């Protein structure tokens, strides 16, 4: 009987933990519903705060960002200028927190919390990991505080992503931070421990 009670307690604990992780990981339900087409017209005026996270190997990657919507606007070369540093989200700089040392673009990045910026280009983007995690948009951005800059090619998608969405995904044995918005996707490879 004691064994059965212990198993039931473990199952309840596991279930509650899984629910909490799913809720934390899925971010804002509104933005997810808009992206899936469950909400036909995006009428939210704000850019909700969202979270993307995953543990791959021994490394937990945690991203926090503001999620603006397309809402019929011209995004690339319009709302988001080409060839200028972008906070890659709304309100504050997007942050990425690594629980262990990682390698990005051949450079070792110590565990810690960083800002993630981009410089959008028509054919190539620069993804930036910057040491100053607490910044309002790119107002205080300083290139001298960059840890690493990586060039990536944007990929056109067939399906629109109405709300800016980050994901942390496992690709082979490594991690990748993906950024999707409008008809564009970027992938930043991250070597984990």
- What is the DSSP secondary-structure string of 76-96? BTTTB-TTS-B-SSSSB-EEE
- Under 8 Å between Cβ of 72 and 42: no
Q: Determine the Cα–Cα distance for residues 130 and 92; give it in Å rounded to an integer.
A: 13
Residue of 118, 44, 47 lying closest to 88 (CA atoms): 118
Res. 175 pLDDT band, cuts 50 70 90: very high
Residues 122-152: tens digit of each pLDDT: 999 999 999 999 999 999 999 999 999 999 9
- Under 8 Å between Cβ of 170 and 181: no
Average pLDDT taken over every residue of the chain: 87
Q: Determine the Cα–Cα distance for residues 75 and 18; give it in Å rounded to an integer.
A: 36
Residue of 61, 68, 125 lying closest to 98 (CA atoms): 61
Domain boundaries, the chain: 2-190
Res 26 pLDDT > 70: no
């Amino acid at each position: 009987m004691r064994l059965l009670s212990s198993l039931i307690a473990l199952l309840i604990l596991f279930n509650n933990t899984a629910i909490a992780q799913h809720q934390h990981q899925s971010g804002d339900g509104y933005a997810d519903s808009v992206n899936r087409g469950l909400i036909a017209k995006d009428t939210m005026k704000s850019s909700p705060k969202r979270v993307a996270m995953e543990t791959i190997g021994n490394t937990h990657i945690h991203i926090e960002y503001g999620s603006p919507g397309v809402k019929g606007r011209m995004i690339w070369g319009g709302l988001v200028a080409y060839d200028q540093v972008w906070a890659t989200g709304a309100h504050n700089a997007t942050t990425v927190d690594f629980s262990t040392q990682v390698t990005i673009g051949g450079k070792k990045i110590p565990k810690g919390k960083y800002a993630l910026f981009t410089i959008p280009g028509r054919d190539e983007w620069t993804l930036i990991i910057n040491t100053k995690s607490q910044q309002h948009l790119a107002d205080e951005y300083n290139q001298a505080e960059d840890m690493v800059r990586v060039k990536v090619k944007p990929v056109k998608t067939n399906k629109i992503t109405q709300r800016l969405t980050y994901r942390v995904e496992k690709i082979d044995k490594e991690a990748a931070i993906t950024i999707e918005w409008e008809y564009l996707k970027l992938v930043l490879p991250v070597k984990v421990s």
